[in-house]
């Protein structure tokens, strides 16, 4: 399943963390590399280059604040019919099942707050999807991030950690974060039927989940007392005679 | 007497120590993720330097080798008591992590730091 080279895996494979991860997360070799292009990939490449050197060594001064960052693209993209100057997309982000090993430290949604469509500059924002609640807002923690950003001026990164923790994180079964991506035409402009399907929702909104590995272990080995080591090093033959 | 007996017993061990170049040490080694068959999954980096440890362990496991007590005792057992008990082996001592950028089967992009992926020093244990 993992691909070449084929390795004869022992029966106790699930106890081998790296192999288990390969089996669970790696795409099958014959499927080829899943196509992820555009801004999300550029964003993650830049995040990688800031956090690790060309050989993959994590940088000492990295500011990522987590050992794992997952970029999640929306599953579905339902565009509502035009309502005056408003354009609304409903986006579903699948959240994988909880793993005890990883602790969610931060969640942000990244979106274009300026969108150029059919010669119009639209102003956009993201809000949680709640049925029959047009004025729904994120809680106070859903503010725009003030952290140094990898994003250009047209993009915004908004912290939604509390929203995910409170509403979704401890739910069992399939969990989906549903958001509304709302854009407004300029007030003075003529209302035109702008077509969303020219704009991939993946390229306008994505979710970033930051995790820390809670099972980091440093196995320390207690060594012989220094005096004994020095003694052995200085006169090993004497020690051997004494043992005999 | 003890000296002559000692030299008899220690004969094979001296062979084990071998020349200076055969001592337990860290050897740099690089592989591409393409060679491992993982390039459809791993976007960055392209090359991986896991390194490896190879060489003979000395008869006396000195301080700098960071050998645990058990290895020192096993070395003595091999030397003095029963040569069917193998001498300690040259294995990695310290590791450093590697950061990978991955594309998962569902199309998500993952940055992840994997612990213990690069051997940085060796020990006899």
* A55 in Cβ contact with B45 (< 8 Å): yes
Say which of B66, B68, B111 has its CB closest to residue A68: B111
* E strands in B33-108: 42-44, 47-48, 52-54, 90-103
Q: How far apart are CA A69 and CA B109, in angstroms?
A: 8
Is the pLDDT assigned to residue A214 strictly greater than 70?
yes
Give A75's DSSP letter: S
Say which of A5, A48, A55 has its CB closest to residue B37: A5
- Give chain B positions within 8 Å (CB) of A48: 44, 99, 101, 111
> Do A243 and B105 lie within an 8 Å CB cutoff?
no
Give B64's DSSP letter: G
Q: Is A130 on the interface with B (CB under 8 A)?
A: no
> What's the pLDDT score for residue A142?
58
Cα three-residue angle B2-B8-B10, rounded to 5 degrees: 95
**In chain B, which residue's Cα lies nearest the Cα of A95?**
B108
> What's the pLDDT score for residue B19?
56
> Do B40 and A226 lie within an 8 Å CB cutoff?
no
Mean pLDDT lowest among A6-10, A22-26, B31-35: A6-10
Label the pairing between strands A102-112 and A68-72: unpaired
Say which of A44, A223, A230 has its CB closest to residue B111: A44
> What's the pLDDT score for residue A88?
83
> What's the pLDDT score for residue B71?
95
> Do A56 and B99 lie within an 8 Å CB cutoff?
yes
Residue whose C-alpha is closest to residue B43's, from A203, A214, A40, A30: A40
Is the pLDDT assigned to residue B109 strictly greater than 50?
yes
> What's the pLDDT score for residue B10?
35
> Do A58 and B113 lie within an 8 Å CB cutoff?
yes
> What's the pLDDT score for residue A209?
95
SS3 of A194, please?
Answer: coil
Mean pLDDT lowest among A72-81, B21-30, B86-95: A72-81
- Give chain B positions within 8 Å (CB) of A232: 60-62, 72
Distances (CA, A) of A138 to A112, A160, A162, B108: 17, 8, 9, 24
Neighbours of A240 (CB within 10 A): 20
User: Using alpha carbons only, how large is chain A's radius of gyration in Å?
Assistant: 26
Q: Where are the alpha helices (DSSP H) in chain B?
A: 2-17, 33-36, 69-76
Residues in chain A: 244
User: Using alpha carbons only, how large is chain B's radius of gyration in Å?
Assistant: 20
> Do A222 and B98 lie within an 8 Å CB cutoff?
no
Distances (CA, A) of A88 to A31, A38, A122: 34, 22, 12
Q: How far apart are CA A112 and CA A89, in angstroms?
A: 13
Mean pLDDT of the region A110-139: 75
Q: How far apart are CA B93 and CA B29, in angstroms?
A: 16
Q: Where are the alpha helices (DSSP H) in chain A?
A: 17-25, 39-51, 161-164, 226-234, 236-243
- Give chain B positions within 8 Å (CB) of A33: 40-41, 103
Q: Is A7 on the interface with B (CB under 8 A)?
A: no
> Do B36 and A243 lie within an 8 Å CB cutoff?
no
Q: How far apart are CA A65 and CA A56, in angstroms?
A: 17
Helices B2-17 and A236-243 pack at an angle, to 10 degrees, of: 120
Label the pairing between strands B31-32 and A155-159: unpaired
Is the pLDDT assigned to residue A83 strictly greater than 70?
no
Residue whose C-alpha is closest to residue A46's, from A143, A128, A148: A148
Say which of A36, A45, A221 has its CB closest to residue B107: A36
Strand partners, A183: A87, A124
SS3 of B63, please?
Answer: helix
Q: How far apart are CA A37 and CA A206, in angstroms?
A: 13
Mean pLDDT lowest among A23-37, A81-95, A128-142, A171-185: A128-142
Give A155's DSSP letter: E
Mean pLDDT lowest among A48-52, B13-17, B57-61, B111-115: B13-17
Q: Which of residues 174-193 of A touch B (CB under 8 A)?
A: none
Mean pLDDT lowest among A56-65, A87-96, A110-119, B50-59: A110-119
Range picked from A37-51, A135-149, A210-224, B89-103 for highest mean pLDDT: B89-103
With b for 16 or more beta-carbon neighbours within 10 A and e for fewer, the A111-144 pattern comes to bbbebebeebebebbbbbbeeeeeeeebeeebee
Label the pairing between strands B42-44 and B109-124: unpaired
Strand partners, A90: A78, A180
Question: Which residue did the predictor score with more confidence, B33 or A39?
Answer: B33
Neighbours of B41 (CB within 10 A): 24
Cα three-residue angle A54-B108-A62, rounded to 5 degrees: 35
Q: Which of residues 35-64 of A touch B (CB under 8 A)?
A: 35-36, 40-41, 44-45, 47-48, 51-52, 54-58, 64
Share of chain B above pLDDT 70, in %: 83
Q: What is the pLDDT of residues A227-244, one digit of tens each?
A: 444 444 444 444 444 444
Q: Is A237 on the interface with B (CB under 8 A)?
A: yes
- Give chain B positions within 8 Å (CB) of A58: 97-99, 113
- Give chain A positions within 8 Å (CB) of B76: 240, 243
- What the block records as the tokens of B43 is 């976007």
């Amino acid at each position: 399943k993992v691909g070449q080279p084929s390795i004869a895996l022992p029966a106790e494979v699930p106890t081998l963390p790296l192999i288990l991860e390969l089996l669970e997360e790696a795409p099958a070799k014959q499927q080829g590399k899943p196509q992820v292009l555009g801004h999300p990939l550029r964003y993650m490449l830049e995040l990688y280059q800031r956090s690790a050197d060309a050989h993959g060594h994590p940088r000492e001064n990295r500011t990522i604040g987590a050992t794992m960052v997952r970029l999640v693209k929306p599953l579905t993209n339902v565009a509502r019919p035009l309502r005056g100057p408003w354009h609304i997309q409903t986006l579903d982000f699948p959240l994988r099942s909880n793993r005890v090993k990883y602790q969610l430290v931060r969640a942000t949604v990244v979106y274009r707050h300026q969108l150029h469509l059919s010669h119009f500059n639209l102003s956009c924002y993201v809000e949680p999807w709640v049925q029959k609640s047009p004025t729904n807002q994120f809680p106070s923690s859903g503010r725009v991030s003030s952290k140094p950003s990898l994003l250009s001026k047209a993009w915004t990164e908004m912290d939604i950690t509390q929203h995910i923790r409170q509403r979704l994180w401890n739910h069992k079964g399939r969990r989906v974060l549903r958001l509304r991506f709302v854009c407004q035409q300029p007030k003075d402009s003529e209302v035109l039927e702008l077509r969303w399907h020219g704009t991939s929702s993946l390229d306008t909104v994505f979710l970033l989940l930051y995790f820390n590995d809670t099972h980091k272990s440093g196995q320390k080995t207690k060594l012989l007392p220094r005096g004994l080591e020095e003694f052995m090093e200085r006169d090993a033959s004497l020690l051997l005679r004494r043992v005999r | 007497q003890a000296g002559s007996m000692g030299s008899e017993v220690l004969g094979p061990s001296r062979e084990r120590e071998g020349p200076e170049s055969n001592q337990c040490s860290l050897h740099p080694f690089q592989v591409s993720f393409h060679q491992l068959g993982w390039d459809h999954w791993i976007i960055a980096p392209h090359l991986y330097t896991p390194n490896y440890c190879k060489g003979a362990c000395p008869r006396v496991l000195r301080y700098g080798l960071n050998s645990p007590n058990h290895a020192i005792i096993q070395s003595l057992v091999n030397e003095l008591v029963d040569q069917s008990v193998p001498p300690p082996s040259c294995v990695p001592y310290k590791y450093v992590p590697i950061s990978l950028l991955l594309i998962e089967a569902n199309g998500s992009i993952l940055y992840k730091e994997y612990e213990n992926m690069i051997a940085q020093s060796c020990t006899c244990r």
